[in-house]
Amino acid sequence: MEENENRGLKKIEEVDVSTDNNEIKIADDVVAVIAGMAVSEVPGVAGMAGGFAGGITEVLSGKKNLAKGIKVEVGEKEAKIDVNIIVEYGSRIPDVAFEIQNRVKKSVENMTGLNVLEVNVHVQGVNTESVEPKDENTDSQE
């Protein structure tokens, strides 16, 4: 590969492909990115709720962390996924959560071959920024 193609890619040491034993291990980070992409496509999701360290990493690197707010446990043939989200105000939370569960399960199973046992959705907040009305006339009338 050329140097330009490798730029921006993170090398993951945990992936182990062995042809002798026909064994493939998929890193937790890989599954988290797949799940993050699936969640980002769901209408009603304002963003991911991640820790302080994840937010600092995004600011410093200038890149969006697709695994932010996602915790993954990968076994030999199965995976459990926890998703922490912030929903848009006005969205029906059960519908958003159900859609996340379906899309994450389908994406991870199709791309990795792992059996997704659980997709737990944790709603950490509600985005109300777009709801607040901006009244420009109040400042100019003083």
The answer on pLDDT for 98 being more than 80 is yes
pLDDT at position 10, please? 43
pLDDT at position 31, please? 95
Q: How many CB atoms lie within 10 A of CB 103?
A: 18
CATH number, domain containing residue 124: 3.30.70.1350
The residue among 74, 4, 82, 73 whose CA lies nearest residue 39 is: 82
The residue among 83, 82, 84, 86 whose CA lies nearest residue 44 is: 86
- Domain span at 112: 13-128
Residue 135 lies in a domain: no
Residue 53 lies in a domain: yes
Task: Say what the pTM is.
Answer: 0.70
Q: What is the number of domains present in the chain? A: 1
Residue 139 lies in a domain: no
Long-range contact set of residues 48-54: C-beta below 8 Å, sequence gap at least 24: 48/83, 48/84, 48/85, 48/86, 49/84, 49/85, 49/86, 49/122, 49/124, 49/125, 50/84
Residue 45 lies in a domain: yes
